[in-house]
Amino acid sequence: MPVISAPHAFNEGDLFVDLASICGHPLYLKCEAFNFAGSIKLKAANEMVESAERDGILTADSVLVESSSGNLGVALSMIAASKGYRFLCVTDSRCNLSTRLLMEALGSEVHIVADQDANGGFLGKRIDYVRSLCASDDRYVWLSQYTNAGNWLAHYRTTAPEIARRFPEVDVLFVGAGTTGTLMGCARYFREWPRPVRIVAVDAAGSVAFGGEPGRRMIPGLGMSMRPPLLDESLVDEVIKVEEPDTIRMCHRMARNGFLFGGSTGTVVSGATDWLSRHDSRGLTAVAVAPDLGERYLDTIYQTNWLHDLYGDQVLETDTGTATDVATVQTDTPAREPKSASRAPARRRTT
C-alpha cells in the first residue's frame, strides 16, 4: 500500500465486483468509492481544482463554491481542507443528512436551497444562489462542474483506461448520467478504442437530461432538472431511465448479498440488469460504473420509515429478481452493437 500525505493522493481504481450471481446476467461492476471522499466524484474534484490552480484562478484568499447534491461537495470539502481553502457547498433538501454532516466535519460551510425551479428540481435555484455569491464578492471561485471540461477529462484520463486495462474486450458499458462528466469521459475514450463499445447511459426517471417530462426525484446523485451542458448525445448509443422504486429494490438486493451500495449505483445496476435481460448476453462482456457506497443512504434508501412514507409499504415486496418498470429510450445516433448483443436489438420502451 502507498504512503501518502494528502487524502486525494489515494484512490483505488482497479476493483471490480462480479455481479452475475446477484443479477442473473454477466455484469462486472467497477467500484469507485474506495477513497477518502467515498465516491467517484473525487476524480472530477481533483482535476477541476488542479486545473484552476494551474490557471491561477485559485489563490490563498479564494473561497471555493460549488453546487452539489452531495458527493462532489464531500470531495471538494476534503480537498479544500487538505489544501487550506475555504469551501461553501450549495445543496438542497434532498442531500442526505450524513453527507451534510460530513462536509461540515471537514470544515466546509453548507447552504441548503429549499425552493424548486421551473422543472420541479432544485438545480436552477442552487445555481442562481452560486451566481449571486460570485457577483457579490470576487473571492468566490465557482468551478462549475456542469460546464467544466475537467469533469469529463478526469474520467477520460482515469476511469475509462482503468476499465480498458481490465476488460480490453468490453462490449457494453453502463454509466450513470448526472452532470454527464463520467459518461462523456468514458464515451470519448471508448470512441477511440480499436473495437466497438456500446455506451448505455442510465438516467433517473423524472430527469430531463435527455428530454421528457420532469418528475419527482427524491434520491440524490443521478438525473438533472436541465439539459447537462457537457452532454454530447452523439456519443451515447442508448439511454435507460430507471424508476426510483427499482433503484431501491436493487440496492436492497445487493445489500442482502453483502454489498452495501448507494442510490446512484443501484440505479446503474438496475438499468444494466434490465438491458441485459432483454438481450442475448452469452459471451458478452458488460461493465457498469458504481459511483458510491451505501453508508450515506442509511437514513433514506435503507431506512424503512423513509421508504414507506415516500413509496408505500409494498416498495420492497415486488423484487422478483429482475428490474421492473424501466424505460429504455433509443438515441437518434445509429447504434453500434457489440458482436453478442447484435442478436437481440434493443427495444424502444416507455413507461
pLDDT category of residue 119 using cuts at 50, 70 and 90: low
Please give the average per-residue pLDDT across 229-244, as a whole number: 97
Residue 185's domain spans which residues? 7-35+150-331
Same domain as 176, residue 134: no
Beta-ladder partners of 118: none
Same domain as 162, residue 127: no
Same domain as 29, residue 62: no
Same domain as 102, residue 81: yes
Give residue 115's pLDDT: 81
d(CA 252, CA 149): 35
Query: Residue 348: left (phi > 0), alpha (psi -120 to 50), or beta?
Result: beta
**CB neighbour list of residue 101: distance below 8 Å, 6 or more residues apart:** none
Query: In terms of DSSP bridges, do strands 172-176 and 286-290 run parallel, antiparallel, or are they unpaired?
Result: parallel
Q: How many CB atoms lie within 10 A of CB 176?
A: 29
d(CA 320, CA 323): 8
Same domain as 134, residue 29: no
pLDDT category of residue 25 using cuts at 50, 70 and 90: very high
Same domain as 180, residue 321: yes
Q: DSSP 3-state assignment of 24? A: coil
Give residue 303's pLDDT: 95
Domain termination site, one of 142, 159, 179: 142
Please give the average per-residue pLDDT across 39-50, as a whole number: 97
Highest mean pLDDT out of 105-119, 147-161, 204-218:
147-161
Task: Note whether residue 194 is domain-resident.
Answer: yes
Domain termination site, one of 142, 161, 188: 142
C-alpha cell recorded at residue 161: 483506461
pLDDT in tens, 280-335: 998 999 999 999 999 999 999 999 999 999 999 999 976 544 443 444 444 444 44
* CA-to-CA separations, 7 to 80, 197, 264, in angstroms, rounded: 11, 34, 23
Same domain as 312, residue 239: yes
d(CA 43, CA 297): 21
pLDDT category of residue 114 using cuts at 50, 70 and 90: confident
Q: Is the pLDDT of residue 345 over 70?
A: no
Same domain as 164, residue 290: yes
Same domain as 211, residue 172: yes
Tell me the CA end-to-end span of the chain in Å, nearest whole number. Answer: 47
Same domain as 252, residue 187: yes
Give residue 337's pLDDT: 46
C-alpha cell recorded at residue 59: 489563490
Percent of the chain at pLDDT exceeding 90: 81
C-alpha cell recorded at residue 22: 446477484
Task: Note whether residue 286 is domain-resident.
Answer: yes
**What is the residue-averaged pLDDT of the chain?**
89
Same domain as 84, residue 220: no
Q: Is the pLDDT of residue 347 over 90?
A: no
Task: Note whether residue 351 is domain-resident.
Answer: no
Cell 445509429 belongs to which residue? 334
| DSSP codes, 219-270 | S-SS--SS--TT--GGG-SEEEEE-HHHHHHHHHHHHTTT--B-HHHHHHHH
**CATH no. for residue 248?**
3.40.50.1100
d(CA 197, CA 142): 34
What is the edge-to-edge ordering of all strands in the sheet holding 109-113?
109-113, 86-92, 63-67, 140-142
Give residue 238's pLDDT: 98
Angle of helix 97-105 versus helix 71-83 axis, rounded to 10: 10
Give residue 221's pLDDT: 83
Task: Note whether residue 257 is domain-resident.
Answer: yes
Q: Is the pLDDT of residue 217 over 70?
A: yes
Same domain as 159, residue 102: no
pLDDT in tens, 157-188: 999 999 999 999 999 999 999 999 999 999 99
pLDDT in tens, 55-98: 999 999 999 999 998 899 999 999 999 999 999 999 988 888 88
Give residue 69's pLDDT: 83
Q: DSSP 3-state assignment of 87? A: strand
Task: Note whether residue 126 is domain-resident.
Answer: yes
Give residue 319's pLDDT: 56
d(CA 132, CA 134): 5
Query: In terms of DSSP bridges, do strands 28-31 and 16-18 run parallel, antiparallel, or are they unpaired?
Result: antiparallel
Task: Indicate the number of domains in the chain.
Answer: 2
pLDDT in tens, 193-204: 999 999 999 999
Domain termination site, one of 107, 142, 177: 142
- How many helices and strands, by DSSP H and E, does the chain display? 11, 11
Q: DSSP 3-state assignment of 29? A: strand
